[in-house]
Amino acid sequence: MMNRIQQTFAKTEDHKCMSLFITAGFPTIEDTVELVLGFEKNGADIIELGIPFSDPLADGPTIQYSSNLAISNGITMNKIFDMVKQIRSQSEIPLVLMGYINPMLRYGLTSFFEKAQEVGVDGLIVPDLPLDEGHMIHDLATTHGINIINLIAPNTTNERMQLADQQSSGFVYCVSVTGVTGARDGSEVQKSVDQFIERSKEHITNNPIMVGFGIKSYEDACNISKNVEGYIVGSALIENIKEHFPKPEWKSEIFDFVHRLKFGYSRGGTRRLTKGSISLKTDI
């Protein structure tokens, strides 16, 4: 049986899959569900819901900021499961939890996976759990039908790419640069990424590839994801929220940003035809 993530890739075969990362509980606990549903309406195909951690060592200043704010807002693991439940009651969008291992360990890994399955989580990304330590969650994830999505970086060897492919389901997450999360200058990312993507495609054959880290616009997304199934945007979205919250109509600004990220033009605007448009199937 195909799960929601696999169904999504089957459905989006003629366009790029856009996954959006948002820290759960940012900018407020009350906003998360509505933001996620709005992202879906404006083009998001997958949602990555970040579990805030006090010491996010793979994240840059933007996600450090949103995580700290969410923690001071009083976010808890149970509140996050509650958000998933609410979203799931209104939407079939694939939901991936992304978080560091310590809060999951503290919750209890067995309880964590049971609860995740119960509320309708589809996948899990743990940035500080490399393949070497993956055995910790592998069996639980399989038992509870949760996809484990592993990350690979430009300095990952071919052998480890193959291992990541074997141990992942749903998709494999290509981290486009060596470094922490954060929006970057598009050309900086583009320079090194093409070769890396080419190599990834050679060694990742079972799973779709999503590329992320540093994407901040529709143009970046088009360029970087031209040869893979899709792209992930996180820090740029959070920056955008940071900029507009809590002005009146801030959500509308954010949804417009999301729409532009996906389609290259504003909501209600006319379609601008770009060469290599992201919604056209390229040579995958």
What minimum distance in Å lies between the beta carbon of 147 and other proteins? 17
Query: SS3 of 232, please?
Result: strand
Active-site entry in 31, 40, 45, 59: 59
Active site residue 283: no
Active site residue 55: no
Could you give the CA distance from residue 201 to residue 171 in angstroms, rounded to a whole number?
12
Active-site entry in 48, 220, 229, 239: 48
For residue 237, give the nearest of 263, 218, 251, 258 by alpha carbon: 258
Choosing from 39, 53, 81, 218, the residue that interacts with other proteins (CB under 8 A) is 53
**In the range 120-139, which residues lie near other proteins by CB under 8 A?**
127-133
DSSP conformational letter for 270 = P
Q: Is residue 103 part of the contact set for other proteins (CB under 8 A)?
A: yes
Choosing from 160, 199, 251, 260, the residue that interacts with other proteins (CB under 8 A) is 160
Buried b (16+ CB within 10 A) or exposed e, 110-135: eebbebbbebbbbbbbbbebebeebe
Q: Is residue 109 part of the contact set for other proteins (CB under 8 A)?
A: no
Could you give the CA distance from residue 208 to residue 16 in angstroms, rounded to a whole number?
11
For residue 189, give the nearest of 222, 229, 143 by alpha carbon: 222
# residues near other proteins by CB under 8 A = 41
Please identify, among the stretches 155-163, 198-206, 228-236, 247-255, the one whose residues bind other proteins according to the rule CB under 8 A: 155-163
Question: For binding to other proteins (CB under 8 A), which residues are involved?
Answer: 53-58, 60-61, 64, 68, 71, 76-77, 100-107, 127-133, 150-153, 155-157, 160, 164, 175, 178-180
